[in-house]
Amino acid sequence: MAATRVVRTAWLALGWCARPGAGLRVALTGASGYVGSEIAHQLAEAGHPLLACVRPGGAARVRAQLATVPAELLAVAEVDLTDALALGGALNAFNAGALIHTAAVFRRGLADPGAQMVRPTIAMAEAAVRACAAARVGGRCVALVHTSSMAAVRGPGQAPGPTGAFTSADRNTVSRADGCGMEPYQFAKAEADARACALAAELGVPLCTLCPSMVFGPPRGRAQLSALSCELVLGWLRAERRVESRLAVDCRDLAAAHVRAAELAAEEGWAPTHLRLIVSAEARTPAAQLADVLRAAVRARGGRGTEARAAEIRADEWGSGKVGEGPAVPIGQREVVEDARAALGLRTYRSAEASLADMACTLLDLSPE
């Protein structure tokens, strides 16, 4: 009951009133994140009223971070994202036709990754499905678009099937909740994906699961600089670590996939009721090519010591020559079967080089040394 009261209080305090017929009404978790903020802006650009579902106490922060979204298209509800009843109440109050769930926990150096990252990530995914089942529009469950990950498709060292490339039917079978490094996060994404799929099938929730690879592209603002992708590329630009080959997708293309998936999944009679799709380039871009892009960005910015800074950027093909650390598919060969673009009717994705070039320029502007 207390959680429901939080939602109601947030709505009264914000004083926002829904406008019937103004486009698909979409709720979004993780709206202040790197990918979530791009989705929020693209929803608004498409004319879709947006409800940002944030943790209690997060309304002011997300409003500040989405300040360029037209006020008449943005509402914010503070809600415990692991509480299906409270989240479902927010969806009902907004009359949402779809929920895009991007929220997950990722932090380094946690004392107990299982309790602090794995369990909350899984709980949020399950709550999202249950909330969509409870919040009905015209007798139909609210459609769900779940942001999963290539980490749910394959884990470190996992080999692809007979085709030689991973497909959206594959699942990570190697990452462990108590593993080292990134394994707890990978396990959390894999388990959240699997449980959401099973629960949606059980409850009849229209579900589109999107599995992106590493996300590049320009962040919307300084608030996103703490995102894993931004920290990684800033480290490359500052020569704090060597540039590595990556299987990647642009955040703008990934956001477009989410928006289109929500539009399709919310349609009456949408079939199939569940799609699981990979959103990614199909082959890794060699590290040397990515390093060239970053050097060009540094040179274009100019300033004292430009050539020296550009020369410090070095490439090291990820795991090359290190047994068990390299990608299961050789760099440059087809590693995944990308199926989201055709299924969702999307345009050709930006190349990794173009995406990284835009990202580097933005990061240099947002994070001057």
pLDDT (tens digit, 9 = 90+) per residue, 162-218? 889 999 999 999 999 888 888 889 999 999 999 999 999 999 999 999 999 999 999
Distance between CA 101 and CA 208 in Å, rounded? Answer: 11
Q: Where are the domains of the chain?
A: 2-217+249-283+330-350
The predicted pLDDT at position 2 comes to: 34
Q: Count CB neighbours of 168 within 10 A.
A: 22
> How far are the Cα atoms of 64, 279, 289 from residue 252, in angstroms, in the given order?
21, 12, 21
For Cα atoms 192, 281, 207, give the angle at the middle one, nearest 5 degrees.
Answer: 35
Q: Is the pLDDT of residue 16 over 50?
A: no
Q: What is the DSSP string of 74-105?
A: EEEEE--TT-HHHHHHHHHHHT-SEEEE----
- pTM assigned to the model: 0.91
Percent of the chain with pLDDT over 70: 89
Q: Is the pLDDT of residue 99 over 80?
A: yes
The two structure tokens encoding residue 89: 């109440």
The predicted pLDDT at position 244 comes to: 93
The CATH architecture annotation of domain 2-217+249-283+330-350 reads 3-Layer(aba) Sandwich (3.40)
Q: Is the pLDDT of residue 37 over 90?
A: yes
Distance between CA 257 and CA 79 in Å, rounded? Answer: 26
Chain segment 301-315, per-residue pLDDT in tens: 988 889 999 999 999
Chain segment 46-85, per-residue pLDDT in tens: 999 999 999 999 999 999 999 999 999 999 999 999 999 9
